[in-house]
Chain A
Amino acid sequence: MQLFPCPFCGPRDETEFHYGGEAGNVRPEGANVSADFWANYLWFRANPTGPSREIWMHMTCGEFFVMTRDASTHVVADSSPNSGREP
């Protein structure tokens, strides 16, 4: 069992967390968004093998936050409250 750090509750079991996607994937606005642009927003991902900034939810307290994590080693480098600017 891995412990993930919730910025609000501290280290908790991984099973309490839900992965929300890559950070910084901004929803395009307006009527003139091309199909490719939409598809890119909806489906296409960097899916990096190394460090990645990710949106996570701590389901116990209900807060969303940003976790920087390495997808190969699973080492967590940083965990911080989502300033509200990142989707």
Chain B
Amino acid sequence: MTRRYSALSLLKEGLTGHRGWAPAWRTPVPKTSYDAIVIGGGGHGLAAAYYLAKTHGIRRTAVLEKGWIGGGNTGRNTTVIRSNYFYPESVALYGLSHRLYKSLSAELNYNIMFSPRGMVTVCHSEAEMEIAARTVNAMQINGVDAELFSSEDVRRVAPIYNFSPKARFPVHGGVWQPSAGVARHDAVAWGYARAASGLGVDIIQNCEALGFIIEAGRCRGVETSLGPIRAERTGMAVAGHSSALAALAGFKLPINSYALQACVSEPVKPILDTVVTSLGTGTYVSQSDKGELVIGGGLDRIPSYAQRGNLPVLETVIAGLIEMFPAFGQLKLMRQWAGIVDVVPDSSPIIGESPLPGLYLNCGWGTGGFKAIPAGGTMLAHLLAKGAHHPISRPFDLSRFAKGRLIDEAAGSGIAH
């Protein structure tokens, strides 16, 4: 059986009809107890299980996923990875993530196709340029690569953008982060799953968490659709469904669930080699390796658990795209979908022990947690292993709401994603 991926193993398998590949992860029957349980087989849950095994040597771990791994937001997002944050707490968290992403393919022996192709946020007025200058200064002070772009600079990286003087949103300049980029979202989930499974982690799909085993006021495991599974420590990383699990554990979260949608065009030849977002339209776009344009925008404005977007928002997003790139008006849309995202009032994640002792939270990533998967996993693994915060996760504890120590990135970085 071939387990390690390399050019050599590909050649060898190619010559022998590709019959020797081992499944990427095992499909185990759940045990009755583990050292740790992670609920949610998205990027954050799988990464947490991986780092728990790799960094902390805790390998008797189960990941419980109610559907298939990566079937939540991790497999539905537009894969933009950047670190455009304002507050030092956020920069520490997302900066760690960005660094881990750079070496993740080698770390996991799985090509996640990380492509740091640069991202430009286009500004359309002098007022927006002032905010852009503030953002760039904040990023530079925090040690993140960023440049203030003139309209000529924008033209250099995105020549097909709408530079017409008659444009509804004329180009004044923008913010450029050269190290921002995209990655293959499924590969991030699959790569972590494969590496975690290789270290002994049980990845259990089609297993829904239905409740918690609570004894003497402590979480001692999970009631699942496959029966009770016990563990002294449980983590949950279920994104838009966090409030539902919290209700089962007997507490509330500062989260509202909304649908965030995205769509892709038919594939075309290479035409756009950066990520472009516009402050005026709120639409952003990149081109995938297959040639499809990957298009996203703002949230649906109606609280929802239905994993499909509504049409008015799709119309706004597409109208924005055509304003930015009139040439794209000729393309057909191939697919449109939505994920349920966990929106927190200060647009920062919640990481830490929950009000139910023994149950740890990783949620609240909202519209922008794909870029944070390696760091979110590292933080949840640390909490599960040590029962205490990593210095980077401490500011993101749930207690920040009662203390009034919000990390308001909607106001700080001004950008939802």
Contact = CB atoms under 8 A, between A and B. Distances in A.
Interface of A: 1-2, 13-15, 18-19, 35-36, 38-40, 42-49, 52, 54, 71-74
A33 B75 CA distance: 43
A49 B244 contact: yes
Contacts of B301: 18-19
B346 to A, nearest CB: 9
B254 interface: yes
Interface stretch (B89-97, B139-147, B151-159, B305-313): B305-313
Given A19-B303, A43-B254, A47-B303, 19 more contacts: A1-B312, A15-B312, A18-B301, A38-B402, A39-B402, A42-B345, A43-B345, A44-B253, A44-B401, A45-B252, A46-B252, A47-B243, A47-B244, A48-B244, A49-B243, A71-B303, A71-B304, A72-B306, A73-B306
The 4 closest A-B pairs by CB, nearest first: A47-B243, A43-B254, A39-B402, A44-B252
A46 B303 CA distance: 12
A8 B243 CA distance: 33
Contacts of A42: 345, 401
A42 to B, nearest CB: 8
B24 interface: no
B413 interface: no
Interface of B: 241, 243-244, 247, 252-257, 301-306, 310-312, 345, 401-404
Contact of B243 (A13, A38, A45): A45
Nearest to B406: A43
Given A44-B254, A45-B253, A47-B257, A14 B302 contact: yes
Contacts of A73: 306
Contacts of A44: 252-254, 401
A42 B403 CA distance: 12
A71 to B, nearest CB: 5
A58 B252 CA distance: 28
A49 to B, nearest CB: 5
A73 B308 CA distance: 11
B304 A46 contact: no
B21 to A, nearest CB: 39
